[in-house]
Each structure stands twice: as C-alpha cells, then as structure tokens.
Amino acid sequence: MNQKYLKQWNFPSKSNPSKTYTVSLKPDGEYICSCWPYLRTRQPCKHIKAAMNATQKAQTPTISRLDVRAPEEESQRISLQEVLERLLGAKI
Ligand SMILES: [Zn+2]
C-alpha cells in the first residue's frame, strides 16, 4: 500500500554520510523516522525534533517590527516636544 505523507525531511547521518534518515509527517499529525533509535524506542528522536522545529518556524507568522515600534516612537517624540516647549516657555 502507498501511504501518503504530508511532509518529509531528509537528514544525512553523521556517522555514515552515504546514509540518510527520513522523517515523515503522517496525515494524522504523527512524525516517524527511519533511524534505529526511533524504530527501537518509538520515541521522538533528534531528527523528529529538528523536523518539528522547522515546522513550527515555518508556521510562526512574521510580525512587522515597524508596525509595533511606530506608536512608541511617536509618543516619545511628543513628550520630548512637550518638555522642550516647557523649557522654552520657562525661559521666555
Ligand atoms: Zn531519527
């Protein structure tokens, strides 16, 4: 039977560069890996954790820093202007 995966990642083995471990994301949300530690224990291995990190980063929405910072700078500019006006007003 052919099982379709939502996504797959390939991780080259450090001990054997010609060998590649494949992490697959199953349609039910489960991650599986082809390395021995995972096949033996069925616990998330370092490859699965790396794949999960990559997925989370891709899904994190990017927030424009300019949009967040703009109101703060505006209020600082106004308060600085107010201080200057008060100083000038006191002098005159
Ligand atoms: Zn693995």
Q: Phi, psi at residue 42, to the nearest 5°?
A: 60, 25
Percent of the chain beyond pLDDT 90?
48
Indicate the SS3 state at residue 32.
Answer: strand
Residues 70 and 55 in one domain: no
Examine the pLDDT at 1 and tell me if it is beyond 70: no
Examine the pLDDT at 17 and tell me if it is beyond 70: yes
Residues 54 and 13 in one domain: yes
Examine the pLDDT at 32 and tell me if it is beyond 60: yes
Percent of the chain beyond pLDDT 70?
74
How close is the Cα of 55 to the center of ligand 1, in Å? 16
Residue 47 lies in a domain: yes
Q: Residue 31 sits in which domain range?
A: 7-59
How close is the Cα of 25 to the center of ligand 1, in Å? 13
Summary mean pLDDT of the chain = 82
Indicate the number of domains in the chain: 2
Q: Which residue has the tokens 């390395």?
A: 35
Band of residue 65 on the pLDDT scale cut at 50, 70, 90 = low
Name residues whose C-beta falls within 8 Å of residue 45's C-beta, 6 or more positions apart in sequence. 33, 35, 37, 38
How close is the Cα of 89 to the center of ligand 1, in Å? 71
Residue 15 lies in a domain: yes
Length of the chain equals 92
Residue 92 lies in a domain: yes
Please give the pLDDT value at position 10.
95
Tell me which DSSP letter residue 78 carries.
H
Is the Cβ–Cβ distance between 10 and 27 less than 8 Å? Answer: no
